[in-house]
Amino acid sequence: MSVVEQYARAHILTDADLPDQDDGGAIPVVLRYDPERDPSTVRVALPGRGGRASRSREWSFSRALLEQGLRAPAGEGDVRVWPCGRVQAVIEFHSPQGCSVVQFENKALVRFLRRTHQAVAAEPVAH
């Protein structure tokens, strides 16, 4: 099965997590889906403080949670997702180090979800 990897721009809304960027908090985020590893899970990799060169943090959560959170507030474990107006969504990540609140354009998340479903649908059925 093919891995889906998509880059997106997002805005960090928590001051403690802002990487050193000159564009008002917009950061490069990697959205990943590997149906062989776990067909129900998506991953979001956030760059560490200082941008790409520093150690990134990766969060794993259910694809269904991301889909639900685009329509209405939803949460599971250390991750919460909710719509923010008509064109944005917020994902909140909790860890022992604190909370990271990240705002995405809906269209980037919807495109990513569509690609995850296409990746699964394109796979041949084993006999």
| Entry pTM | 0.83
pLDDT tens figures, 58-111: 999 999 999 999 999 999 999 999 999 999 999 999 988 788 899 999 999 999
pLDDT tens figures, 25-38: 678 999 999 999 99
pLDDT score, position 95: 86
Indicate the pLDDT class of residue 49, thresholds 50, 70 and 90: low
Q: Which of 91, 89, 12, 94 is nearest to 49 (CA)?
A: 12
Could you tell me which residues come within 8 angstroms of residue 118 by beta carbon, excluding any fewer than 6 positions away?
none
